[in-house]
Chain A
């Protein structure tokens, strides 16, 4: 089994093209945007020999149903991602700083509609 260590997100290796048709094509991560102004969201992945065909495959697989208005494809092996075991320390400067939250601040009593 291939190691997925080279790819930050762990969505497979995306490595290997050796030029013959039986090799596995590179892996591309697919991000789709639905109409209504939502951000692009990870949908899945496709294999394709180049970006143009990756985009077409992504359209066929992930835009076949529903209201997709935009698709991004990104070679899986260029994504850098945090490691899950870092999760605690890496995201630490969040909740423990009370001054990042509106409740930290006092406003004059009786003021309505701040």
Chain B
């Protein structure tokens, strides 16, 4: 069945696409889409997937040193979730016509980017609490909005992730609250972690709108529904009262509530640091990539064994059928 005999022009297809976007329709893998929409989504979704995978490293660093069996079990479950989230988004990205192997290769060769936040080190146990609170908190702010993205597979992956992610933030905040109510040393340790993670977390929502070349287009296509600065404001507004509730201070002397905008004003962001980290010069960029390359290399025997097992079973089936 081939109902369409003459190919409609690109302009006509594009007009239909823009109309569908404007009407709030969901774009599915087989639908016609502008090449630029496809490549922008591949870039954005693969960065997101890579971030989930690399994001396992700073936290995985503390699994063996978690202070109790309960905390160890929670951290294991959380890190396992991040692996799952990476796989959901890789699978969504593949619907755009790029292979998993190519995506993994782009990460391992350093061609693809991942979130700047994972290039900072986890120095103390308190960092694990603060990552759950700040980093997962910021990710939830971002992903809740992406769950309404115009591309169906991306939106569906986000819905799945958001459902699972709430415990991530809560377990982190619980660690933070416990330490904040602990000994003076524990409180100092968690305040130090807050001081180190606050600005990188504020930055992880992306460059300011005035310096984000992709935002306008992605907003028009309803891939993004809020700008980076809007997401950042939301994250800050949510987090400040949570810090006050556990008696911790955020390292920004300009942070104060502005009744006119019903939100917090905050101090200038060090974008030079952000771009340095994005360009590969953060504290842990090289270490993170090397860890991923090692994991890929060290997993080779598992992949080979799986192939050998499957080939052996295929042979056995053949010979028993003969």
Q: CB-nearest residue of chain A relative to B305?
A: A21
Among B88, B92, B98, point to the contact of A61 (Cβ < 8 A). Answer: B88
Among A12, A19, A20, A61, point to the contact of B99 (Cβ < 8 A). Answer: A12
Contact with B along A31-53 (1 / 0, CB 8 A): 00000000000011111111011
Chain B interface residue count, Cβ-Cβ cutoff 8 angstroms? 36
- Residues from 139 to 171 in B contacting A, C-beta threshold 8 Å: 157, 160, 163-164
Asked if A9 lies at the interface with its beta carbon under 8 angstroms from chain B, I say: yes
In the complex, chain A residues whose CB is within 8 Å of the CB of B157: 44
Contact with B along A1-15 (1 / 0, CB 8 A): 111100001111100
- Residues from 84 to 111 in B contacting A, C-beta threshold 8 Å: 84, 87-88, 91-92, 94-95, 97-101
Q: Which of A67-75, A84-92, A95-103, A104-112 contacts the other chain? A: A84-92
Interface of B, helix, strand, loop or mixed by DSSP: helix
B310 touches A27 (CB 8 A): no
B30 touches A84 (CB 8 A): yes
Question: With contacts A2-B98, A11-B29, A44-B91 known, is A64 near B81, CB below 8 A?
Answer: yes
A43 to B98, CA, bound (A): 19
Q: CB-nearest residue of chain A relative to B4?
A: A85
A60 to B80, CA, bound (A): 10
Closest CB of chain A to B303's CB: distance in Å? 4
In the complex, chain B residues whose CB is within 8 Å of the CB of A2: 97-99
Asked if B28 lies at the interface with its beta carbon under 8 angstroms from chain A, I say: yes
A12 to B97, CA, bound (A): 6
Question: With contacts A44-B88, A61-B87 known, is A13 near B99, CB below 8 A?
Answer: yes
Q: CB-nearest residue of chain B relative to A4?
A: B97
Among B31, B80, B300, B313, point to the contact of A64 (Cβ < 8 A). Answer: B80
How large, as a class, is the contact surface on chain A? 35 or more
Question: With contacts A21-B303, A21-B304 known, is A50 near B310, CB below 8 A?
Answer: yes
A49 touches B306 (CB 8 A): yes
In the complex, chain B residues whose CB is within 8 Å of the CB of A47: 100
In the complex, chain B residues whose CB is within 8 Å of the CB of A49: 306-307, 309-311
- Residues from 1 to 57 in B contacting A, C-beta threshold 8 Å: 1, 3-4, 28-32
B306 touches A53 (CB 8 A): yes
B307 touches A19 (CB 8 A): yes
A2 to B29, CA, bound (A): 13
Q: CB-nearest residue of chain A relative to B167?
A: A65
Closest CB of chain B to A71's CB: distance in Å? 15
In the complex, chain A residues whose CB is within 8 Å of the CB of B321: none
Asked if B314 lies at the interface with its beta carbon under 8 angstroms from chain A, I say: yes
In the complex, chain A residues whose CB is within 8 Å of the CB of B1: 86, 90
Q: CB-nearest residue of chain A relative to B95?
A: A11
Closest CB of chain A to B295's CB: distance in Å? 15
Question: With contacts A1-B98, A11-B94 known, is A64 near B84, CB below 8 A?
Answer: yes
A61 to B82, CA, bound (A): 11
Closest CB of chain B to A106's CB: distance in Å? 37
Q: CB-nearest residue of chain B relative to A49?
A: B310
Closest CB of chain B to A65's CB: distance in Å? 5
In the complex, chain A residues whose CB is within 8 Å of the CB of B28: 10, 84
Question: With contacts A44-B88, A86-B1 known, is A10 near B95, CB below 8 A?
Answer: yes
A46 to B304, CA, bound (A): 17
Question: With contacts A11-B29, A49-B306 known, is A3 near B3, CB below 8 A?
Answer: no
Beyond contacts A53-B309, A90-B3: 10 other A-B pairs, Cβ-Cβ < 8 A, are A4-B29, A9-B30, A10-B29, A11-B91, A12-B95, A24-B101, A44-B160, A45-B91, A49-B306, A53-B306
What is the interface of chain A, defined by CB distance below 8 A to chain B? 1-4, 9-13, 16, 19-24, 27, 43-50, 52-53, 60-61, 64-66, 81, 83-86, 89-90
6 nearest interchain CB pairs?
A: A10-B29, A49-B310, A50-B310, A10-B30, A24-B101, A12-B94
> Can you list 10 A-B pairs with a CB-CB distance of less than 8 A?
A1-B98, A10-B95, A12-B97, A16-B99, A22-B101, A45-B91, A49-B311, A50-B310, A65-B164, A84-B30
